Each structure stands twice: as C-alpha cells, then as structure tokens.
Amino acid sequence: MTKVIDHINNSSKTLFSFEILPPVKGQGIQDLFSEIEPLMEFNPSFIDVTYHREEYVYKKKADGLLERKSVKKRPGTVGICAAIMNRFKIDAVPHIVCGGFTKEDTENALIDLNFLGIDNVLALRGDAIKTEPTFVPERDGNHYASDLIKQVVQMNNGLYLDDDIENPHPTNFCIGVAGYPEKHFEAPNMTTDLKHLKMKVDMGAEYIVTQMFFDNKKYFEFLERCRANGINVPIIPGLKPITTKKQVTNLSRVFHIDIPEGLSEAIEKCKNNAEAKEVGIKWAIEQSKELMQKGAPVLHYYSMSRSSSIRAIAEALF
Ligand code: FAD
C-alpha cells in the first residue's frame, strides 16, 4: 500500500482524508463501514484509526464494595485498519501510542502491522489515564512520541530489541506525528513545544497532522513558526465540523483550543443541534476553502465516525 508521504508527494492538489474511531466494545463493524461508504466517492487518500488506551472503571460488587477494573472501551485499531484496507482498498493509518505499552508490546504491535501490509503509523505519546493527573509511561515503555519514533525507525533499519535475531527483517513504516497550532497543553510555551516537535521530525517523522483549530490564522502562524524553526515536512491541517451546541464548550475544554467568537456566537443563536450542525458545516467549508487556496497538502477531517457533515463538506470541495 502507499505511504502517506508518497500520496502527498505524488499529488499537485490538496488531498482529502479523515479520522475514525473504533466502535465501542461489543459493537460490530457494519455501522462503521456504513459511515465510511458515503465518503468513498470523494477518493480519500487515507483513513486514520485512533487508538484508545485502557481506563479504570469502578464496579459495585455484591458485598457493596467497589472493585477497580481496567477496561479498553474501544479496542480493535489494528483489526479495523486491516478490515478497511481489505474492504475499501484504501490506506489505513493506525495511531500508535506510548501509554500502556512496553517497548516489547510496541515491537509486537509493529510486527502485526508489518505482516498485514500496513506501512503507515501516526506515532503519539497518548494522554494520561483518565483518572490519573499526569502521563506515566510503562516501565520499559516509551515516554515521549519521539522515543516511540526512535523505536519505529530502528525497526525500519532492521534493529529489534533482541539483537540476537538472525537476518532481521526491516519494516518500512512512514511515520506521522501530532502538532499543536495552539500549543500542547502541557508545554510551558510555544518555543519549547516547537523544540519537541522538531525533535520528532529529526528522529524520522515525515509529516505532521495538527490538532483541530477553528481559526485558520492559528494554522498559518504555526506553519510559519515551524518553517522558521527548521521543521520542513508537510503539515496537514486537522479540521472538525461542530455538530452539536454543546461542542463549543466541550471541544475547547477537552482539546485545549479556542473557539472564535464569530463561531461561538453563531452556534449560541441556533435553536437546536440540527441548526448547529449546519453552522459547523459552513464554518468548516470556509476554513477548508482558504486552506486549499493557500496550498495545504491534505485536508484531514475528524469525523468521530459520523460521516454526514464530512460528506457535505467534501461535496463542496472535492
Ligand atoms: P509528545 O510529542 O510526546 O509531547 C507531549 C508533551 O511533552 C508536549 O507538551 C511536548 O512539548 C512535551 N515533550 C515532548 N518531548 C519532550 C521531551 N523530550 N522532554 C520534555 N518534554 C517533552 N491520543 C490517543 O490516545 N489516541 C489517539 O489515537 C490520538 N490521536 C491523535 C491524533 C492527532 C492528530 C492529535 C493532534 C492528537 C491525538 N491524540 C491521540 C492525543 C495525544 O495523544 C495527546 O495530545 C498527548 O497528550 C500528546 O501526544 P503527542 O504525541 O503530541 O506527545
């Protein structure tokens, strides 16, 4: 299959891609396929599939005491990537994270991906477990996304953790990473965050996908600062059409991003979610048009596995 960087390098126009979430545990894959299907006519170049680490839930036992259980609510990232590639003949990009993985777990996951013919990964640190205040890596796990990139690059060079392996097979992963036009929330300032982003690129990341943003000015400023700091790989804008009234506050809180006044005021005036969705689509189309005009390599949409807004946007643009 084709690497994301080759899709970009082989195209003279802005490409279309989107991100989906694995279904909640216990659900089949059919609903997800039904959401992806209507987007196929717009020729997406690749589909990202998120990874969701374990979280702790508390279950009441018969004796009334609470039992803490670790659960993965959305397992199946690798299987879904393989299923998408098989069904739609399109590249799937699994997200891989440091959190919850020892280096050996990561190595084994990368071996599975390699066997499946998946040559793309988006390498991330991942967030802290929901009930914990800060991110804690596994013992003998990777701490930062840059450490994870180092491990993938080593495997691309045929270096496995066990150096006794005879004739090790080199993998061939194209590595993407996350970037934050409004700064990662833990970074003390943009300068420090960009230093860490540059580290990821210097370690071998071939492109960057941004956190969602609703004001293109933030993306253009970020692009400029990246270039001034010697970060020269393609920077793919990530866009999320607002679909409900509540998202104005929720997205801002969860993703540490600003919602421009014009957008929050327009959503506030909406009588219901159907109206909010229309405002969200219009806003995303305007953002997309400008980004396209100014030569964004790909427009990458956070679909949250719901395709109707993304379809309306794609109809207007691709
Ligand atoms: P890093 O690049 O490791 O950075 C994390 C923080 O540490 C930053 O503040 C950085 O400045 C700092 N830092 C980096 N290196 C160093 C160093 N050497 N020393 C000191 N500080 C350092 N999360 C998921 O769980 N699953 C997903 O599928 C997922 N997909 C995502 C897709 C995109 C496009 C984006 C933008 C985010 C995604 N996330 C996902 C969220 C992501 O995991 C979190 O934002 C996480 O908090 C940071 O991940 P990172 O890879 O950017 O981390």
* Domain residue ranges of the chain, discontinuous segments joined by +: 4-317
Which ligand 1 atom is the nearest neighbour of the CA of 193?
A: 11
Q: Which two tokens stand for residue 153?
A: 């690059």
Q: Is the pLDDT of residue 273 over 90?
A: yes
The mean of the pLDDT values for the chain is 97
- Predicted confidence at residue 1, as pLDDT, reads 86
Distance CA 204, CA 149 (A): 7
Contact indicator for 35, 87 with CB cutoff of 8 Å: no
Q: Report the nearest-CA residue for atom 42 of ligand 1.
A: 126
Arithmetic mean of pLDDT, 62-69: 90
Phi, psi torsion values for 257, nearest 5 degrees: -130, 160
Contact indicator for 207, 178 with CB cutoff of 8 Å: no
Q: State the helix-helix crossing angle for 308-317 and 273-293, rounded to 10 degrees.
A: 40
Distance CA 122, CA 173 (A): 10
Residues with CB under 6 A from ligand 1: 50-51, 53, 95, 97, 124-127, 144-146, 178, 184, 186-187, 192-193, 196, 200, 209, 211, 238
Q: Is the pLDDT of residue 130 over 90?
A: no
Q: Is the pLDDT of residue 135 over 90?
A: yes
Q: Which of 18, 122, 184, 186 to mutate to test the pocket of ligand 1 (most atoms within 8 A of CB)?
A: 184
Distance CA 160, CA 162 (A): 5
Topology annotation, domain 4-317: TIM Barrel (3.20.20)
Residue 15 confidence class, pLDDT cut points 50, 70, 90: very high
Contact indicator for 231, 203 with CB cutoff of 8 Å: no
Distance CA 11, CA 229 (A): 26
The per-residue DSSP string of 166-204 comes to SSPPP---EEEEEE-TT--TTSSSHHHHHHHHHHHHHHT
Distance CA 120, CA 223 (A): 23
Which ligand 1 atom is the nearest neighbour of the CA of 195?
A: 11
Query: Can you name the residues that pair with 58 across neighbouring β-strands?
Result: 68
Residues of the chain with pLDDT > 70, as a percent, come to 100
- Predicted confidence at residue 253, as pLDDT, reads 96
Query: Residues 158-215: pLDDT tens digits?
Result: 999 998 999 999 999 999 999 999 999 999 999 999 999 999 999 999 999 999 999 9
Give 184 Cα–ligand 1 centroid separation in angstroms. Answer: 7
Give 158 Cα–ligand 1 centroid separation in angstroms. Answer: 26
Distance CA 181, CA 210 (A): 7
Residue 277 confidence class, pLDDT cut points 50, 70, 90: very high
Phi, psi torsion values for 70, nearest 5 degrees: -95, 125
Q: Report the nearest-CA residue for atom 37 of ligand 1.
A: 178
* 69 vs 313, more confident: 313
Helix (H) or strand (E) holding 123: strand 120-124
Query: Residues 23-39: pLDDT tens digits?
Result: 999 999 999 999 999 99
Distance CA 71, CA 25 (A): 10
- Predicted confidence at residue 300, as pLDDT, reads 98
Give 177 Cα–ligand 1 centroid separation in angstroms. Answer: 8
Largest interatomic CA distance in the chain: 66
Give 198 Cα–ligand 1 centroid separation in angstroms. Answer: 13
Which ligand 1 atom is the nearest neighbour of the CA of 238?
A: 34
Phi, psi torsion values for 250, nearest 5 degrees: -65, -45
Q: Is the pLDDT of residue 264 over 90?
A: yes
Place of tokens 């009588």: 271
